[in-house]
Every structure is written in structure tokens, then in C-alpha cells.
Chain A
């Protein structure tokens, strides 16, 4: 359960570019990989020194809002956490245990159990949250890439990652790799976007590998098992609906 939030929405943020400004190109990258009203089954596995530490299988759905992504999640596996539900409503998170009726309000740092900042990695929509401060071309693992240097926007200065370096393949406009840093430049997380597939007309990375900036032995993989589209009313992403919410198989 440790990486959960971490990775959780990471797959929400993946996307594309032309003859636009770097900011417009970044927005296009987001748009190309973002499925509105996405539903999903997702497996999150954390490793340390090559050994699996923890895993979770989640079923959930996403609503993209003006202020960020709202996410409903149901814990399917392992059995010890089965039945738990979670709502990420902006920066507020609610957690509901099986057979209880009052969602517990958590702080962002309570949510980021274990691999502290994965959740922020996950929920980062690049164009929405960051300004492009530098833009260049680079080669990464043999692929010609655009390299975006991003700084958190003024109203998102409280986000865990103040800076992002993002490598996007020129030919496909697929994000390949990102480095997330603190204000002082300290590298916090590295993320590799892999296994792109076309779903609902979008180019979605089905796998994301996030590693710790300090300790490369610690890393987390997020793999989509299923992706679908399900329109859920905005009011469903409310604390008082969490109890009633019934997760559905993505289709």
C-alpha cells in the first residue's frame, strides 16, 4: 500500500507537440495522453534492492477538473486492504475503511506513505501545474527528444516538486522520462514512461517506473491492467458519496 497514492494517478498525466510555443506544445503533450473520465485497474508494486516490498491492485476512475484531478479508488488486493476506498479531491484525501461509515480526512503527507512524493508525481499535469522555463532538444537513449525545463506555477508553489525536467520523444510526442526536483534543485524522483498503447484514441503509457532520487534501489512500477471510460457525475467525487460508490470493471 505504500506507494499507492504515489503512483496512483501518475498514469493520468501522460501525453504530446508542432509549430507552437513550448507551453502550447506541453499542453498538446498532456492532451494526447489524457482520457477524460478514465476508469482503470492498476497494479502498483514497490521494490527495494530488487526485492518486492509491497503491492496493491486498485480499481478507480478519474475526473479532470479545472483545479486538478479528482480520483476515486477501490483497493482490490491484497486481501489485507481489500474493500478500502479513497477519494483524492484536490489536495484533500479521504480514506474509508471497510465496514466503517465515516471517511477519514488525511493530509497530503499522510497519503504519501512510504515513497513520499510519488503521489505528487502521479497527479502532476505538466501544463496545468508548471511553466516552461527552458526548452531545447536532446538525445535520450538514442531517441531525439524535446527537453522541457519546468517550474511550478505561482499558485502551485506548494507542490512537492518545484521543478521538473521532462524528456519527450520528438517523433511520437511521448514523454519518455522525467526528473522531479525540489526548489533547491535536489533530485527527488525519476520516472520512466513505458509500454505506450492506444486507448480511446489516446496514446497512453501503460507502465511507469518511478525511482527514488536518493536511492535508486527503491523504485515503484505502476502498470495498468485495464483502461476504460466511464462518465461519473462530479458530485460522485465528494466525501459524502464515497460510501455509496461502487467501483465498476473498466470498459
Chain B
């Protein structure tokens, strides 16, 4: 109880301290996550464990013009988490887990107004139009704070960018951009300080993006080159490439299609599901693809329907998939089910359903306004092979300077399905957001 009280006090302090200053954009969120999961400790029987996690987050952004065409911008993020593991079996050593990060910080110079833009610093690059999966987001990190999404969005509310230099050239209907990021590594001792500013970057990356407007369609082409070292005897270079298309059909429909593939990606492969042996397998040019649409009714209720299909070339089908499920089930029985992950299925399926084990997935969402200030959405993410799924219902009440939302997320599936093997039973998310 003292942990919850302390988190609440700190959250209140964070929210209160996020006072508006000239030119600052501030958002502060307080989330309560009552959760029920299956857990097993010391080889004993599985039991339902309920826990409440409290997370207070605040992000402050500012963009400052320094001169004609020259701007400095940044976003800083801070969070306090009462239960980052989400498991009462794995509480943090201290009462609260504190994190801070500089999500973005950079200097931007429009060398030629509207035509040539140079960007130096930490920035987020998200070329993908996908909602629940984003095949074209080749350089991206999970949401900071590891706060679970209540909307099934692939991109977290707050994400840390990559340090590098970006050049963008716009000419007519063509955009050419290139982002070059260095490898950033430092010692474990230094990381105790630097972790509050930035994560390390494990490799050199060069991301080339081409954008072309053809009629009313947007076409994107991407190529990512990565290397763990430059100039070394074994540069160990890797390539990814992708393409995307966005187009409107009539007044109410937008269509998106995109695909990407990497020259080699490692995945875990089950060798023997009974003996619980597995191996790491390198897969060449396994494609990931997304096809989706959003339909808007356009009336006063803002009714919209979104649906996406995701093809995961790294996933398994047929007997390979069955063996993976069997392996996961046996792992659970042998090692025990851990809400915190790290045991049981976590090495294969990740906790709470990562939706990466199979090859075919689907997503659908219906959203609309109930009243002027009250919006609702229902969504489902489904594994189309074993028909296990995760569902969510979200209500959001928004006023000028604050919003409050409630969500319930459930996992559904039989014992040999991806979601059935997830320890998650249900999760609530009660969120208060303040805007300044």
C-alpha cells in the first residue's frame, strides 16, 4: 500500500510541476493498471494474481526558433513506476522505479526554405502508415516506460529517437531523405548516468527514404544499411528494404499497403518440443507486409472503421507453428508461469501476446463519438491461424485541458494458442491526462 501511496504522491508532484511555461507543450499522464494474470512460483500450481501498477509520466516539448530557418527542439520525458514488471512476484528494489530520457533533441536548419532541410541530433523516424504493425519503421524502439498500449497501436505514445544526422530534399513531388546514425556505446558504469539521457545504439545505420506523390497517392521506398563496425575486417553489414503506398478512394476511404524485408533476421526455432530444445535460426529476406484501410462515415458521430491484415514472414505455419505452441506449453509446465516474463513462454511468445509467432494476423477497430466530449472504440487483434485474440474497449472523455480514459483489455484463446498461453487474463487502464 505504501508503494501505491508513494507513487500517487510522486505522480501528483509530477503533474503539478508540469506548469506551463511560454512555448512549452506539456502532457502529464497518470495511469492505473489493475491487472489479473496467471502466475506460478516455485513449481507450484498456477494461480490468478492481481496487481495494480501506477505509472506517472510527463513529457515536455519545446521548439525554439534561433534565426531564419534555424530551430532547436527537444522533448524530455520522466516517469515513476510502482511496478515495472507488472508482477507482484517481481517488485522493484526501490519503492519506485524512476526513469528519465531525452526523447528528441536536435538542431534543424532549412538551408533552402521548403527544399533542403538539415537535421542534427536525436529524432524519431517513422515512415510506416500501419497502425497495429509497422513494417516500414525500420529504426524504432519500444515505448519508453514499457507502458502497455490500451489501443493496440504499434507505436507507443512516447518513444525515444535515434541520434544521427538527417538530410531532406524536397523537389516537386519528390522527397529524398537520408538519415545516418553512429554507433553509440559506453561502459556499464557510464550507463548508470547516461541511461537517463539516452539508450545506446548498437550499430551504424543509414536509412535512405524516397517519397513520391503520384496523383493523389503517396509512394515510399526505403533502404536501411546497418553495420556493427565500420572499416573493420568483418563489417557484418545488413540490409533492409521496403515500400509503401497510401491512397484515398472516394471521400471516405483511405488505403495503405506496405512491405519490407531484411537480408537476415534471427529467430528462435524449436528443435524438440518435448525435450525443450531450441536453436537460433537466421532467415533471409523474410517479408513483412501490411494491408489496411480506414473508412470514415463523416457524420456528427465521427464513426470510423479501421482494419489491417499483417503478413509476418518470420512467423510459423503448419506443423512448425504447432510445435512452437507445444514447446511453449511444455515450457510453462516445466519452468512455471511467470507474469514477469523470462520463464516459460516468454522466450518464444513474449508476455501478453506479442503477435509475432504466427504468419497471419488481423486487426479491426470501430471508433466514434458517443457525445461531443465522449469517444469510444472497440478493437480486436487476432491470430488468424489459431484464432486466439486480444480485445480492447476504450472510453475517453476529453475537455480543453484534460482527458480521462478507461480501457479494458482481455486475452482470449485455448490452451494451445498464442493468446491462450499468455499469462494475461485481463488488464484495466485508467488514465488521466493533463495538457498545458
Whether chain B is bound by chain A comes out as yes
Interface residues of A (CB under 8 A from B): 2, 53-54, 77-80, 82-83, 90-92, 98-102, 104-110, 112-116, 158, 160, 232-236, 238-241, 244, 246
Residue contact A99 to B59, C-beta cutoff 8 Å: yes
Nearest CB in chain A to that of B119: its residue: A244
Distance in Å from the Cβ of B86 to the closest Cβ of chain A? 24
Q: For A99, what are the chain B residues with a Cβ–Cβ distance below 8 Å?
A: 59, 61, 75, 103-104, 124, 157-158
When A92-B248, A101-B125 are in contact, do A240 and B168 touch as well, CB less than 8 Å? yes
Residue contact A107 to B251, C-beta cutoff 8 Å: yes
Q: Roughly how many angstroms separate A77 CA and B110 CA in the complex, as a whole number?
A: 27
Q: For A109, what are the chain B residues with a Cβ–Cβ distance below 8 Å?
A: 251-252, 296-298
When A158-B251, A233-B115, A240-B170 are in contact, do A53 and B124 touch as well, CB less than 8 Å? no
Q: Roughly how many angstroms separate A100 CA and B104 CA in the complex, as a whole number?
A: 11
Nearest CB in chain B to that of A233: its residue: B114
Q: For A114, what are the chain B residues with a Cβ–Cβ distance below 8 Å?
A: 300, 302
- Ordered by A's residue number, 6 sampled pairs between the chains whose C-beta atoms are within 8 Å are A78-B400, A80-B402, A100-B155, A112-B298, A116-B300, A238-B213
Q: For A105, what are the chain B residues with a Cβ–Cβ distance below 8 Å?
A: 129, 218, 246, 248, 254, 256
Chain A: interface secondary structure?
loop
Distance in Å from the Cβ of A203 to the closest Cβ of chain B? 30
Q: For B172, what are the chain A residues with a Cβ–Cβ distance below 8 Å?
A: 235
Residue contact B253 to A107, C-beta cutoff 8 Å: yes
Partner pick for B399 among A2, A80, A92, A104, CB 8 A cutoff:
A80
Q: Roughly how many angstroms separate A238 CA and B218 CA in the complex, as a whole number?
A: 11
Q: Roughly how many angstroms separate A83 CA and B252 CA in the complex, as a whole number?
A: 26
- Greatest chain A CB density within 10 A among B124, B128, B403 is at B124
Q: Roughly how many angstroms separate A101 CA and B179 CA in the complex, as a whole number?
A: 14
* Shortest Cβ-Cβ A-B pairs, 7 listed: A109-B298, A233-B114, A78-B400, A79-B435, A110-B296, A236-B114, A240-B175
When A100-B155, A110-B298, A241-B170 are in contact, do A92 and B127 touch as well, CB less than 8 Å? no
Nearest CB in chain B to that of A112: its residue: B298
- Flag whether B171 is at the interface (Cβ < 8 A): yes
Distance in Å from the Cβ of B103 to the closest Cβ of chain A? 7
Q: For A233, what are the chain B residues with a Cβ–Cβ distance below 8 Å?
A: 113-115
Residue contact B129 to A102, C-beta cutoff 8 Å: yes
B-side interface size class: 35 or more
Q: Roughly how many angstroms separate A233 CA and B247 CA in the complex, as a whole number?
A: 24
Distance in Å from the Cβ of A241 to the closest Cβ of chain B? 6
Distance in Å from the Cβ of A217 to the closest Cβ of chain B? 13
Q: Roughly how many angstroms separate A193 CA and B300 CA in the complex, as a whole number?
A: 24
Q: Per-residue 0/1 for B157-174: is the Cβ within 8 Å of any A Cβ (1 yes, 0 no)?
A: 110000000001011110
Q: For B196, what are the chain A residues with a Cβ–Cβ distance below 8 Å?
A: none
Residue contact B435 to A82, C-beta cutoff 8 Å: yes
When A90-B216, A110-B296, A241-B114 are in contact, do A83 and B25 touch as well, CB less than 8 Å? yes
Distance in Å from the Cβ of B132 to the closest Cβ of chain A? 14
Nearest CB in chain A to that of B115: its residue: A235
Q: Roughly how many angstroms separate A90 CA and B304 CA in the complex, as a whole number?
A: 22
When A91-B216, A91-B248, A107-B252 are in contact, do A53 and B372 touch as well, CB less than 8 Å? yes
When A92-B216, A110-B296, A116-B299 are in contact, do A83 and B61 touch as well, CB less than 8 Å? yes
Residue contact A239 to B211, C-beta cutoff 8 Å: yes
Nearest CB in chain B to that of A232: its residue: B114
Distance in Å from the Cβ of B11 to the closest Cβ of chain A? 19
Q: For B104, what are the chain A residues with a Cβ–Cβ distance below 8 Å?
A: 99
- Flag whether B401 is at the interface (Cβ < 8 A): yes
**Beyond the given A80-B403, A244-B119, could you list 4 further A-B residue pairs with CB under 8 A, ordered by the A residue number?**
A102-B127, A107-B294, A110-B304, A234-B114
Distance in Å from the Cβ of A91 to the closest Cβ of chain B? 7
Q: Roughly how many angstroms separate A83 CA and B27 CA in the complex, as a whole number?
A: 11
Q: Which residues of B, 120-145, contact A by the 8 Å Cβ criterion?
A: 123-129
Q: For A235, what are the chain B residues with a Cβ–Cβ distance below 8 Å?
A: 114-115, 170-172
Q: For A54, what are the chain B residues with a Cβ–Cβ distance below 8 Å?
A: 372
Partner pick for A79 among B108, B211, B400, CB 8 A cutoff:
B400
Q: Which residues of B, 263-278, contact A by the 8 Å Cβ criterion?
A: none
Residue contact A102 to B399, C-beta cutoff 8 Å: no
- Flag whether B99 is at the interface (Cβ < 8 A): no
Q: For A158, what are the chain B residues with a Cβ–Cβ distance below 8 Å?
A: 251
Residue contact B248 to A2, C-beta cutoff 8 Å: no
Nearest CB in chain B to that of A231: its residue: B113
Q: For B299, what are the chain A residues with a Cβ–Cβ distance below 8 Å?
A: 116
Distance in Å from the Cβ of B193 to the closest Cβ of chain A? 25
- Greatest chain A CB density within 10 A among B63, B172, B302 is at B302
- Flag whether B229 is at the interface (Cβ < 8 A): no
Q: Roughly how many angstroms separate A231 CA and B313 CA in the complex, as a whole number?
A: 48
Nearest CB in chain B to that of A55: its residue: B400
Q: Roughly how many angstroms separate A213 CA and B64 CA in the complex, as a whole number?
A: 44
